[in-house]
Chain A
Amino acid sequence: MLLFRSEEHVERWSRRWKQPRGATLTLEQGWALAREWYHDRLSPEWKPKTTDEAIATFSRLGLRGEFWQFE
């Protein structure tokens, strides 16, 4: 997951390295995702998310569709 100056730069990178376009998030969406994913990582009770929990987290943040599925 890389940071780019703009969508245009993602497009250029994608063409240059022959990589398919994936999903693009705003920095604010990325921050929301990071907070959901990591806020409780130092808790002794923390457990890795199940795939269903991960998909539910993505969905809450508006990240839906095949790209955000694990199967």
Chain B
Amino acid sequence: MSTVAETTTGERSSARRSEKKAGLSDRTRGERRLGWKLAGPAFIVMLLVTFYPIAYALYLSLFNYRLTDPAARKFVWFQNYITSLSDPLFWKATGITAFITIVTLIVELIFGMAIAMVMNKIVLPRKTLRTVVLIPYSIITVVSAFSWLYAFKFDTGFFNHWLHFLSFGAFDPTYNWFGGTWSSLTIICLSEIWKTTPFMSLLLLAGLAQVDRSMEEAAEVDGASWWQRQVKVVFPSMKAAIMVAVVFRALDAFRIYDNPFIMTGGANNTNTLSMLVGQTTVSQAEIGMGSALAVLLFVFVLIIAAGLVRLFKVDLTGGNK
């Protein structure tokens, strides 16, 4: 941001010397105009395609409005919000979403860090590993969901047979993973973890690459163990990267939709908030209620974002200076 500082001091000093002022402010004004001419269209399109729908949702959420009966549309103030917030189904979906977010975040942080550390130091299959790790990122989430669904289904899958073999016959090969809430959630989380850990480990790897090697070596000379070196030197110096990865992942996980939709369709209490919004809007055609739920989800995401950013004191735009 040094350029801004230069301009302001430049402007201040030029106020005294009027001759210089004309030239400088002309140039500054021209640059500003050109800047907005170039950046403006993208900015306006971005606002139009995102903030307009959100504003429209805010408006619609104040109506009792069913698509199948548009004539009965009625302004009801905050009735939809009161109904949602007092509905146990809403809180159940919120709980499930929070559970998935927390579990996947913790597992991915540990797993992503381990993978990043191997990628950082590895010599031999270096390029192959880096390429292979990126593959899940490029797979469509729905495809990943189907792959894990079919792998764990007891009729078409292989996983039960492998577990049966590895446990010397103790595991029942006809176990139905999709018959209960917790076993279903396990597979949903596994698929989500598989798909998104690569992104996490890449962010962490970029952080690891910036750790000062000499500090780590100094700690080693001083007799610090491997674990002490990680905890006292490596993790603190890549704190920013860890925080950014956590914020990105938490906000992404909270809007989970594809995996549970494909695997359970919300059966066995595995409905997430995003799925609830979709069902209310499309299957039940309750536009007013769906909008209220959408706004609530949006508010949750804002709260999480604000909370995490404040907690970690991260400047997400830091890299883009």
The answer to whether A and B belong to the same complex is no
- Chain A interfacial positions (CB closer than 8 Å to B): none
